[in-house]
């Protein structure tokens, strides 16, 4: 009885390795972009709330707990 040896991960064809690498780069790029957009959204919300806090003399909004340097 012949037992076929298992293929090592390192023995995949070059084109498959390239496709895997491109897929990983694309996935990391998409995740990084969505992280950036979420960070920007949170910064915008923070600035809006600090502005509201100032306009209402502290009755609504948030105090500038991160400092006002974030908002320009």
| Amino acid 8: pLDDT | 67
Q: Are 66 and 46 within 8 A, CB to CB?
A: yes
Longest pairwise C-alpha distance within the chain: 85
Determine the Cα angle at 55 with ends 46 and 47, to 5°.
15
| Amino acid 63: pLDDT | 93
Mean pLDDT by 10 residues, the chain (72 residues): 71 90 94 94 95 95 87 80
| Amino acid 9: pLDDT | 62
Full-model pTM: 0.64
Annotate 27-51 with DSSP letters as a single string: HHHHHHHHHHHHHHHHHHHHHHHHH
């Amino acid at each position: 009885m012949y037992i076929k040896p298992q293929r090592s991960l390192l023995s995949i064809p070059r084109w498959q390795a390239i496709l895997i690498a491109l897929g990983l780069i694309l996935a990391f790029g998409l995740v990084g972009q969505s992280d950036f957009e979420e960070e920007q959204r949170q910064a915008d919300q923070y600035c809006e709330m600090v502005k509201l806090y100032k306009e209402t003399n502290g009755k609504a909004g948030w105090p500038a707990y991160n400092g006002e340097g974030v908002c320009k």
